[in-house]
Amino acid sequence: MQVRPGDLQRRLGEGLAPVYLVSGDETLLVQEACDAIVESARQRGHGERNVVEGTPKVDWSGAFAAAGNLSLLAERRILDVRLPPRGFDRQASDALRKYVAAPFEDTVLLLRTERLEARQRSSAWFKAIDAAGVVVLVWPLGARELPRWLGGRCRAAGLELSRDALALLAERVEGNLLAAVQEIEKLKLAGVRSPVDADTLADAVGDASHFDTFELIDAACAGEARRARKMVRVLRQEGVPVFMILGALASQLRNALRLAGGERLRLPPRRARTLERLAGRMGKAGLEAAVSECALLDLQAKGMLRGDAWQSLERIVVALAGASVGGLEAELDYLRHT
């Protein structure tokens, strides 16, 4: 069963499905959908949670079989599987379909991945999940949808913005939803009175960190390795959240990947030219590897892998600028070691 993100909470209120698949490129919306599923499962007694990272070395048959081995203290479990960007190979597909055909009664399987292509959504493993569980496809917000989404987030935070203020906020965040949440939180903490007009918004919320973030991405795309490294260190010293930079970076890399695949995107002309140059320099394979590195950096920033997330971010942007540096994928075995 396919469910829109806005209908997920209602569907969760009706009961848990044995398996969920959440797919999309909007990091914030995917994370919030997964958090809602995990929280609903926990409220129903699924107190143990196991995370499986989808790498080429994963034994998928063993990973799904282990879902039935509950600890002595847990009655129910959440198996949280992060699928690789390119989806499942034949072995993984067979293991998943076998599990979905006879899921463990006390386990909720949560699969999360980036946006699935049409061919992946027509695969046997996708159809098996669609038939047995719940699929949540998270699509990017378009330029026309963003102000409405921002208005809803502001109302949830107890704020009311004028149409001009919403348009200004949408322009500032440039579709980066993680940055949008940060800006709304700043407004809330500033204690401004509603309704908030554009002038009040401009005075209450600074945008230096946001634009510094995109200047960093532009520097990396332009091949300015030394400048990009310096900007990462400055942003860290200024206390900018690493997730804010990571969200913007991953979003732009995915846009570049779509451009490399021949898609037409509605982007500001300057942004489109920058990403087209990056796509031409790195190619589709290079961009896919960079997106995978961002996914590993996200895990590292959340404490699920060893290492300093800021140092890893610096290595990623320097690599995007054309420097030859090692990636997180090459050190994955070490980063997982506890």
Contacts of 203 (CB under 8 A, 6+ apart): none
**145-206, what's its fold?**
Helicase, Ruva Protein; domain 3 (1.10.8)
What three-state secondary structure class fits 282? helix
Whole-angstrom Cα distance, residue 260 to residue 280? Answer: 7
Angle separating helix axes 27-43 and 242-260, nearest 10 degrees = 120
Domains of the chain, residue spans: 2-138, 145-206, 220-336
pLDDT in tens, the chain (338 residues): 899 988 899 999 999 999 999 998 788 899 899 999 999 999 988 888 888 877 667 777 777 776 666 555 557 888 898 887 666 677 788 888 888 888 888 889 999 988 888 888 888 889 999 999 999 999 877 777 888 889 899 998 888 988 888 888 887 776 678 778 878 887 887 777 788 888 888 776 654 444 467 788 888 888 888 888 888 888 888 788 888 888 888 888 888 888 888 887 777 677 788 888 888 888 888 888 888 888 888 888 888 888 888 998 998 998 888 877 666 666 666 566 54
Strands 48-53 and 134-138: unpaired
pLDDT tens column, 88-126: 677 788 888 888 888 888 889 999 988 888 888 888 889
Q: Which CATH number fits domain 220-336: 1.20.1440, 1.10.287, 3.90.1310, 1.20.272?
A: 1.20.272
The CATH architecture to which 2-138 belongs is 3-Layer(aba) Sandwich (3.40)
